[in-house]
Amino acid sequence: MELSADLVEEKLRAYPEIQPLSTVESEHIELLPKTFADGDYGWRDPEWVVQWYGRRFLGAVPNADRRAVEDAYDENDYEAVHEAISAAVDADGADNMLSHLTALSGVDVQIGSAFCQFIDPERYVVIDERQWSTLRALGELDGDYPASPTTSDYARYLEAYRALAERCECSLWDLYRAIWVIAEER
pLDDT digits (tens, 9 = 90+) for 63-85: 777 788 889 999 999 999 999 99
CA-CA distances (angstroms) from residue 78 to 9, 68, 142, 177, 185?
Answer: 39, 19, 39, 31, 40
Window from 4-8, 73-77, 123-127, 182-186 with minimum mean pLDDT: 182-186
Domain region containing 62: 5-185
Within a 10 A sphere around the Cβ of 169, how many other Cβ atoms?
11
- pLDDT reported for residue 83: 97
Q: Measured between alpha carbons, how far is 33 from 148 in angstroms, rounded to an integer?
A: 26
Q: What is the pLDDT of residue 124?
A: 98
Percent of the chain's residues with pLDDT above 70: 98
Q: Which residues contact 50 (CB under 8 A, 6 or more apart)?
A: 69, 70, 73, 106, 107, 111, 114
What is the band of 61 on the pLDDT scale with cuts at 50, 70, 90? low
How many structural domains does the chain have?
A: 1
Residue 62 has pLDDT above 70, yes or no: no
Rank 20-24, 61-65, 116-120 by mean pLDDT and report only the highest.
116-120
Residue 55 predicted with pLDDT over 90: no
How confident is the model at residue 68, as a pLDDT?
Answer: 87
**Would you place residue 173 in the very low, low, confident or very high pLDDT band (cuts 50, 70, 90)?**
very high
Residue 99 per-residue DSSP state: H
Answer whether residue 1 shows pLDDT above 80.
Answer: no
The more confidently predicted of residues 96 and 65 is 96
